[in-house]
Amino acid sequence: MAITRKDISILLKNYDCDNLTVAALGGHSCLDVCHGAKQHDFKTLALVKKGREKTYNKYYATSEGEGCVDETIVLDNFSDVTKPEIVSILQKKNTILTSSRYWWVYFDDFSKVENDLLVPIHGTRDMVKLEERDCTPVNQYDILKQADIRIPKIFNNSSEIDSLVIVKANESIRGYERAFFFASSPEQYQIRVDELLRNGTITEDSLKNAVIEEFILGAQVNLNFFYSPLSDQLELMGTDMRRQTSLDGFLRLPADAQFEILKLQQPKLIETGHVAVTMKESLLEKAFELGEKFVKTSKEMHPDGIIGAFALQGAVDAGKGKEDFVIFDVSMRIPGSPGTPFTPYSSYLHGSPMSFGQRIGLELKRAVESNRLNEIVT
């Protein structure tokens, strides 16, 4: 049976809210969360997978006033966090978990997060799965469409391709990552598919669930937001864009070298990090309008709506004579983007740069002080 807000409220009654521990799975945005929590005097805990623990219990462990990770729990697999003995430890530590992409990536059965992980999560527990485009009956496309947020044109099948498209199919080895490729005709699509099937990058099954999207030839930007149920306020924490391998290296080559490489292989678009970017001030109001639409519609389509961090990822298109945002991806939790405070937008509101981790820590602190913690966890 799915864990409810009522279950979490009952659990919180047994918590010592003056002695909370803020925890995250060890990867993605864990250090961001721990650093921010320490700024607000919370204890911190990293739940790490065996073989990946040194980042947290050695290089960034707290010691003599340095570091941000107070404690680590080493697991054989990330999904072990749902085991009763681990859940019990977390409850005894008065733990608040942070929502993460890892809930979906490293869990073979996401229902265990929904049913077995009886620990408060800052963020909307079950909205992470809606990021997957094949999630039914509702996924990110449905929310964006309902919110009247422009998304790329979706092609039902390859025979409809009449312009440049990007195809998003899950990789065969890393099923949580997508093997992007481009095509501008049905014939070119088939050539690329045959090549990727032949070298094992994708499978027939992943191809069945692939999405064929219009490629937006615009300046890419991720709009990183934070929505606070405590204040009913939407904040733009910062803006950035992805760094992708091998595309970034490919683009640094002169044109003649690019042509030679294309004879041998296509560049891959595997995310390795982010780069802080800014946008024209005249676009800010449009950006906030998108965020407000998304928050409003998420409340209409989900009992809890979006809580805390989320991101609308897209590009600014000027194809119709005026600049317009086109959103092609949504993060329904903290984005893995620790460079967010290196854009000015959080400073404009808070007076100094603020990371997602710091904003989460501030939200938890405000909730504890006002006895409203149950409003921001699920």
The per-residue pLDDT string of the chain (378 residues; one tens digit each, 9 = 90 and over) reads: 899 999 999 999 999 999 999 999 999 999 999 999 999 999 999 999 999 999 999 999 999 999 999 999 999 999 999 999 999 999 999 999 999 888 878 888 899 999 999 999 999 999 999 998 778 889 999 999 999 999 999 999 999 999 999 999 888 777 666 788 999 999 999 999 999 999 898 999 889 889 999 999 999 999 999 999 999 999 999 999 999 888 888 889 999 998 898 888 878 888 899 999 999 999 999 999 999 999 999 999 999 999 999 999 999 999 878 899 999 999 999 998 898 999 999 999 999 999 999 999 999 999 999 999 999 999
Cβ proximity of 364 and 42 under 8 Å? yes
Helix (H) or strand (E) holding 101: none
Q: What is the distance between the alpha carbons of residues 97 and 90, in angstroms, rounded to a whole number?
A: 9
Strands 21-25 and 95-98: parallel
Query: Which of 146, 169, 33 is closest to 97 using CA atoms?
Result: 33
* Tokens 């024209």 -> residue: 280
Say whether 140-149+218-350 and 5-124+355-375 share the same fold. Answer: no
- Torsion angle of the four alpha carbons 30, 34, 37, 43, in this order, in degrees rounded to the nearest 10: 120
| CATH of region 5-124+355-375 | 3.40.50.20
pTM: 0.95
Cβ proximity of 69 and 56 under 8 Å? yes
Q: What is the distance between the alpha carbons of residues 54 and 88, in angstroms, rounded to a whole number?
A: 25
The residues that bridge with 142 in the sheet, in sequence order, are none
Helix axes 356-369, 30-39, angle to 10 degrees: 50
CB-based contacts of 354: which residues, under 8 Å, 6+ apart?
237, 341, 346, 347, 362
Domain coordinates in residue numbering, the chain? 5-124+355-375, 140-149+218-350, 161-211
Cβ proximity of 26 and 48 under 8 Å? yes
CATH for 140-149+218-350, options being 3.30.930.10, 3.20.20.70, 3.10.20.600, 3.30.470.20: 3.30.470.20
Cβ proximity of 336 and 101 under 8 Å? yes
CB-based contacts of 75: which residues, under 8 Å, 6+ apart?
47, 48, 49, 50, 81, 86
Helices (H), the chain: 5-12, 30-39, 54, 84-92, 102-105, 111-115, 140-146, 186-198, 204-208, 247-251, 255-262, 284-301, 345-350, 356-369
Q: What is the distance between the alpha carbons of residues 149 and 107, in angstroms, rounded to a whole number?
A: 30
